C-alpha cells in the first residue's frame, strides 16, 4: 500500500496546476487520471475548438473584405484543418505524463474510488493520503429522449475525420454556437434546435439577438421553441422529431449542458456530499470532509465553469490545504462566445441585472463606424455598458471581431476602478482596441 501526503484526482488544468504546486512545497504527491492525461480542455475542449476556430477566423476575415481588395472567400479543407488541430492535441497526453514524471509526481491510470476518507483504490492498487484534492471536471450531459444513444457529443465533433453535409445541434449554449459556427464555415448545412426562444441565456439578450441574426445571415438555421422528443436512425441519416417538428440530418450533436464527473468516486464512503451541480465545498474549497478538497468544474459553484477559473481555484486551494488562509475571493470573470463575431461580457450576471431592473440602466453604442472597426469592416461591432444608480459601471457586453481583446482590457480597468482621467494618462499603440478605452470609461 502506497502512502502520500496528497493525492490529486484528475489531471486537467486544475489538477495538474495543484499537483505541481504541492510538489514544490516538498510534499509527496500522486495524481490519478481515468481518461486522457491533461484533461478535457487541451484534449477535447476549449483548446482544440479554438484551433478549428482559427480557420474560421481566417476565412471570415477575408470574407469581410470581398470587394475591398479580395474577390472570393477561401474554402476550408476540413481534413487539413483537423491535421492542424492534431498538431497540438495529439501530443498533449504524452507531454502531460512526461512533465509529471520529470517533476517526480507519481502517476496512476484508472478510476479512483474512495474506500474511506483517507483511502482510495485505483484498479487493483490501494493508496492512502493525508489529504485529497478532487479535480475531475465535467462531461457532456445526455438529453433523456428516445434514441439518446444516437446523440454525438462535442468531443465526437472535435474528432471528426470528415465533416457531414448536415449537422443538427440540440441546445443553444456557447458550445452549440461555437461548434455550429465552425461547421457552417467549413461547409455543413447547420441547424440549432432549442427548447425555448432564449439562447445563450448568460449573455445580454440584445447582443445575443444580433449574433443570432449574424449567424442566420451566414446560413445557420435556428429552430426555437422546439421540445425535441426523439432521434431516429434512418440509415444512413437521422430524423429529429418534436411536436410539429421534423428534421433529417447526417449527425445530431447533443449540446445541452455538462454534468460533474462524480460517478465511480464513491464519495459517500468518504463523507463527501454532492448534488447534480457538483461537489459541495465551503469558501475554502473544502468538502464536507475536512481533509478532502475540490476545485475546478466538478465543484458546485455559481462562477462560470471555465479553464481560467479552474486554474485560479487550483492556485488558491494549494494554500488552503497547507495552512489557514482567508476565504477565496473571485475576481471579475469575463466570458466569451468565440466565432468570427465574438460575444463577450464581464460584470454582474444577466440574472442579477434582470432581478433588479429598477437599479440599472444601459447604453448601447454602435462601434462599426469607429476607425478601429471600420478598417476591418466589422459592421456588427457594438458595446453595451450597464450602470447602477450612482453611474458606476457594473457590466459590459461587447459584440465584435475584437470582443475578446476589448473585454480583457476593460476587465483590468474595472478591477482597478480606473477613472476616465486615469485611463487617458496612458498612451496606447494606435490603431488598436486599447486606443479606444478612454471613450468607454
Task: List, for residues 47-65, the tens digit of each pLDDT value.
Answer: 999 999 999 999 999 999 9
| Dihedral sign from CA coordinates of 15, 17, 21, 23 | positive
Would the pLDDT of 403 be above 90? Answer: yes
Paired sense of beta strands 221-223 and 189-193, if any = parallel
Q: Measured in whole angstroms, how far is the alpha carbon of residue 70 from the centre of its chain?
A: 34
Q: In 3-state terms, what secondary structure has residue 249?
A: strand
Q: Is 129 annotated as a binding-site member?
A: no
C-alpha cell at 288: 464536507
Residue finishing a domain among 216, 240, 256? 256
**Predicted TM-score (pTM) of this structure:** 0.95
Model confidence over 304-331: pLDDT tens digits? 999 999 999 999 999 999 887 899 999 9
Residue 406 lies in a domain: yes
Q: Is 177 annotated as a binding-site member?
A: yes
pLDDT value at position 181?
Answer: 98
| Domain co-membership, 113 together with 182 | no
Instruction: Measure the CA–CA gap between 388 and 395, rounded to whole angstroms.
Output: 9
Residue 363 lies in a domain: yes
Residue 329 lies in a domain: no
Q: Is 175 annotated as a binding-site member?
A: yes
Per the prediction, the chain carries an average pLDDT of 96
Model confidence over 220-234: pLDDT tens digits? 999 999 999 999 999
Domain count, the chain: 3
Residue 179 lies in a domain: yes
Instruction: Measure the CA–CA gap between 373 and 367, rounded to whole angstroms.
Output: 7
| Domain co-membership, 417 together with 350 | yes
Question: Which DSSP string corresponds to 20-36?
Answer: HHHHHTT--EEEEESS-
Residue 332 lies in a domain: no
Q: Is 26 annotated as a binding-site member?
A: no
Q: Is 178 annotated as a binding-site member?
A: yes
pLDDT value at position 55?
Answer: 97
CA distance readout (Å), 73 to 50, 103, 250: 20, 48, 25
C-alpha cell at 190: 447547420
- Provide φ and ψ at 258, rounded to 5°: -130, 155
For the residues 164-168, what does the mean pLDDT come to?
Answer: 98
C-alpha cell at 335: 466570458
Q: CA neighbours within 13 Å on the CB side: how many for 26? A: 1
Confidence grade of residue 32 (pLDDT, cut at 50, 70, 90): very high
Q: Is 174 annotated as a binding-site member?
A: yes
Q: Is 171 annotated as a binding-site member?
A: yes
| Domain co-membership, 83 together with 186 | no
- Using a 10 angstrom Cβ sphere, with 0-12 exposed, 13-18 middle and 19 or more buried, the burial of residue 205 is middle
| Domain co-membership, 62 together with 117 | yes
30 forms bridges with which residues in the sheet?
Answer: 7, 106
Would the pLDDT of 122 be above 90? Answer: yes
| Domain co-membership, 191 together with 278 | no
Q: In which domain, by residue range, is 312 found?
A: 3-139+259-322
Would the pLDDT of 177 be above 80? Answer: yes
Instruction: Measure the CA–CA gap between 191 and 193, rounded to whole angstroms.
Output: 6
| Domain co-membership, 8 together with 135 | yes
Q: Is 427 annotated as a binding-site member?
A: no
CATH of the domain at 279: 3.50.50.60
Would the pLDDT of 162 be above 80? Answer: yes
Residue finishing a domain among 205, 225, 256? 256
Q: Is 50 annotated as a binding-site member?
A: yes
| Domain co-membership, 26 together with 116 | yes
Residue 328 lies in a domain: no
Residue finishing a domain among 322, 351, 373? 322
pLDDT value at position 134?
Answer: 98
| Domain co-membership, 97 together with 135 | yes
Amino acid at each position: 500500500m502506497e502512502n502520500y501526503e496528497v493525492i490529486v484526482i484528475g489531471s486537467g488544468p486544475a489538477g495538474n496546476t495543484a499537483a505541481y504546486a504541492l510538489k514544490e512545497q516538498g510534499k509527496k504527491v500522486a495524481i490519478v487520471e481515468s481518461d486522457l492525461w491533461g484533461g478535457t480542455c487541451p484534449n477535447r475542449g476549449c483548446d482544440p475548438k479554438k484551433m478549428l476556430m482559427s480557420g474560421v477566423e481566417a476565412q471570415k476575415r477575408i470574407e469581410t473584405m470581398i470587394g475591398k481588395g479580395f474577390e472570393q472567400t477561401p474554402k476550408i479543407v476540413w481534413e487539413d484543418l483537423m491535421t492542424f488541430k492534431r498538431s497540438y492535441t495529439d501530443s498533449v497526453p504524452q507531454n502531460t505524463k512526461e512533465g509529471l514524471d520529470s517533476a517526480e509526481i507519481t502517476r496512476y491510470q484508472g478510476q479512483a474510488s474512495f474506500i474511506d476518507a483517507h483511502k482510495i483504490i485505483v484498479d487493483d492498487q490501494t493508496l492512502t493520503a493525508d489529504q485529497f484534492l478532487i479535480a475531475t471536471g465535467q462531461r457532456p450531459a445526455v438529453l433523456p429522449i428516445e434514441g439518446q444513444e444516437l446523440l454525438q457529443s462535442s468531443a465526437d465533433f472535435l474528432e471528426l475525420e470528415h465533416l457531414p453535409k448536415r449537422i443538427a445541434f440540440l441546445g443553444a449554449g456557447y458550445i452549440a454556437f461555437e461548434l455550429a459556427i465552425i461547421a457552417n464555415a467549413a461547409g455543413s448545412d447547420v441547424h440549432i434546435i432549442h427548447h425555448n426562444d432564449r439562447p445563450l441565456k448568460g449573455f445580454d439578450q440584445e447582443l445575443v439577438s444580433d449574433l443570432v441574426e449574424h449567424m442566420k445571415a451566414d446560413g445557420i438555421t435556428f429552430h426555437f421553441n422546439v421540445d425535441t422528443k426523439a432521434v431516429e436512425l434512418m440509415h444512413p441519416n437521422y430524423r429529429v422529431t418534436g411536436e410539429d417538428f421534423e428534421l433529417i440530418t447526417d449527425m445530431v450533436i447533443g449540446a445541452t449542458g455538462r454534468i460533474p464527473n462524480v460517478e465511480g468516486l464513491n464519495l459517500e464512503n468518504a463523507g463527501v456530499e454532492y448534488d447534480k451541480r457538483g461537489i459541495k465545498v465551503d469558501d475554502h474549497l473544502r468538502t464536507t470532509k475536512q481533509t478532502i478538497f475540490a476545485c475546478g468544474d466538478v465543484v458546485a459553484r455559481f462562477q462560470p465553469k471555465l479553464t481560467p477559473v479552474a486554474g485560479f481555484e487550483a492556485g488558491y486551494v494549494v494554500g488552503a490545504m497547507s495552512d489557514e488562509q482567508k476565504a477565496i475571493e473571485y475576481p471579475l470573470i469575463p466570458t466569451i462566445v468565440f466565432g468570427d463575431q465574438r460575444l463577450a461580457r464581464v460584470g454582474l450576471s444577466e440574472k442579477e441585472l434582470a432581478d433588479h431592473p429598477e437599479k440599472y440602466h444601459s447604453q448601447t453604442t454602435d462601434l462599426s463606424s469607429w476607425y478601429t472597426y471600420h478598417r476591418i469592416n466589422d459592421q456588427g461591432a457594438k458595446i453595451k455598458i450597464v450602470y447602477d444608480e450612482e453611474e458606476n459601471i457594473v457590466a459590459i457586453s461587447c459584440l465584435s471581431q475584437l470582443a475578446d481583446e476589448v473585454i480583457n482590457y476593460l476587465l483590468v480597468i474595472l478591477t482597478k476602478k480606473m477613472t476616465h482621467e486615469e485611463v487617458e494618462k496612458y498612451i496606447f499603440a494606435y490603431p488598436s482596441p486599447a486606443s479606444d478605452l478612454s471613450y468607454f470609461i
